[in-house]
Amino acid sequence: MPRKGFDEVVLLTGFPSFRGRHMCEELLREGGPRVLLHAVVHPKLAADAATALDALPLDARRRVHVLEGDAAAMDLGLSGAELRALGREVDTIHHCVQVSYVGADRAAAEHVNVGAAREVVEVARVCPHLKCLVVHSSASVSGDRSGVVREDELDCGQHFRNVIEETLAQAERVYRRAMVSKKKPLPIAVLRPTIVVGDSIHGEVDRLEGPYLLILLMLTAPPDFAVPVPGRADVPIHVVPIDFVTKAALRIGRDPRAPGRTFHLVDPHPLPSRKLVELVAQAGGRRAPTGFVPANLARALLRAPGIERITKSPRAFLEAMVVPVTYDHTNADELLQNTGITCPPLETYIDRLVGHVQKWLEARARRRESELPDPLA
């Protein structure tokens, strides 16, 4: 049973990462005063966690219990006493920790993405009142597949374009085995959002990646220069804002129909890449590209030595502009039906994403100006 005085006790990993922080805020906001949250925080991130908690309303902050630990360590790095206490009261786990930066090395990706999957499964086994272990994965586990990717599919002969896709797929295999374990099947729901960007109100993120790098590329080009874009003009671009992801995660994690299933969190009407770059150009006051680099040439360019250093690692996103893929979202639609939780169309908030990059460029320019030596000194 949850701790007396609370209707739900949640264990959260990945705090204070971008997704973990937003998930924490959503749980506390929508759950109200009867939700208690235990956040596992790596010692190296203690100061960042304190800053994130200070930004919360006082009442919400009081309902967050920080546990020093490591999601990839044995028992999440918790003591035996801490683990036993959690086991008695936790009824929901949101596992948000993951390495998602495509420039990460294999050892780090395997340690966190796969190692933490094994550990959170073992922790879930000592929670007798657990209703759902909600796993925050990624639609990128489909690798280089094209066509329609269904929610119940995982291993379909795809090739992985980087270690992030590969290790997140390995982690999903861990969860699938735990779902059907003869020893003790676990109630696990796997969430696969597509490319996650900032919320649809502000567009802010803590690291420029994915479509933000395309925006950065276009904004830093000369105003009268139309940047040629790799890919195909008709390829759908799959982007979802973090506010939709966290609202959907909260609702799905509380639905008794969720355990044992996988859910694609997607924009049901993704923009084609041509429309995306046109909207970015319009919002940023730049010329829209007049054409796209053919797919075969685009792949060759993306493999060129040094491309990642020059363009700040946009390879993963630009490769997504080459492969025409569609994500089935039948399971997600079923559980989100009549909840009012829908993914806003990208065209309604793309200007916020562009605005965030513009602010980042302005802040960088101010920093550089402040570092210039005083010519009169």
Least confident of 73-87, 325-339, 358-372: 358-372
35-44, 280-289, 321-330: least confidently modelled range: 280-289
pLDDT at 284 over 60: yes
- 228 or 264, greater pLDDT: 264
On the question of pLDDT at 377 being above 50, the answer is no
Q: How confident is the model at residue 331 (pLDDT cuts 50, 70, 90)?
A: very high
189-198: average pLDDT: 96
Q: What is the mean pLDDT of the chain?
A: 88
**In the structure encoding, which two tokens stand for residue 294, read together?**
């053919």
**When comparing pLDDT for 241 and 102, which is higher?**
241
Q: Give the N- to C-terminal CA distance of the chain in Å, as an integer.
A: 68
Measured between alpha carbons, how far is 321 from 310 in angstroms, rounded to an integer?
19
pLDDT of residue 294: 55
> Mean pLDDT throughout 271-299?
74
pLDDT over 70 percentage in the chain: 86
- H or E stretch covering 316: helix 315-320
Least confident of 80-94, 220-234, 359-373: 220-234
Per-residue pLDDT at 310:
39
Q: Is 81 helix (H, G, I), strand (E, B) or coil?
A: helix
What pLDDT shows up at residue 207? Answer: 84
Bigger pLDDT: 18 vs 311: 18
What is the predicted pLDDT for the residue at 233? 73
How confident is the model at residue 60, as a pLDDT? 94
The C-alpha angle 51, 107, 159, rounded to 5 degrees, equals 110
pLDDT, position 376: 45
Would you state the pLDDT for residue 309? 43
Count of all residues that appear for the chain in the document? 377
Residue 32 has pLDDT above 90, yes or no: no
- When pLDDT is averaged across residues 250-279 and rounded to a whole number, the result is 94
CA–CA separation, 161 and 363 (whole Å):
33
pLDDT at 314: 52
pLDDT band at 209 (very low <50, low <70, confident <90, very high): confident
- Given this model, what pLDDT does residue 135 score? 98
Residues of the chain with CATH 3.40.50.720: 8-196+239-265
Q: Which residue has the higher pLDDT, 207 or 93?
A: 93
Across the range 144-148, mean pLDDT stands at: 94
* pLDDT, position 215: 84
E strand or H helix that includes residue 36: strand 35-41
Instruction: Supply the pLDDT for residue 336.
Output: 98
Find tokens 């996650």 and name the residue.
196
Q: Please state the rounded mean pLDDT for residues 216-220.
A: 80
Would you say residue 13 has pLDDT above 90? yes
Please tell me the CATH code under which domain 8-196+239-265 is placed. 3.40.50.720
Please give the single-letter amino acid code of residue 233: A
User: Which SS3 state, helix, strand or coil, does residue 18 take?
Assistant: helix
Residue 64: strand pairing partners: 37
Residue whose tokens read 């493999």: 303
A 10 A CB-CB count for 6 gives: 18
Helices 273-284 & 350-371 angle (0-180, nearest 10) = 50
What pLDDT is stored for residue 292 in this prediction? 60
368: confidence class by pLDDT, cuts 50, 70, 90: confident
Confidence band (pLDDT; 50, 70, 90) for 97?
A: very high
Q: Is 210 left (phi over 0), alpha (psi -120 to 50) or beta?
A: left
CA proximity to 37, closest of 66, 75, 58: 66
DSSP 8-state code for residue 111: I
pLDDT on residue 307: 43
Rounded to whole angstroms, the Cα distance separating 69 from 76 reads 6
DSSP 266: -
Confidence of residue 218 (pLDDT cuts 50, 70, 90): confident
- Measured CA angle at 129 (ends 127, 134), to 5 deg: 70
Dihedral (Cα; 155, 161, 164, 167), 10-degree rounding? 30
User: What is the distance between the alpha carbons of residues 128 and 49, in angstroms, rounded to a whole number?
Assistant: 29
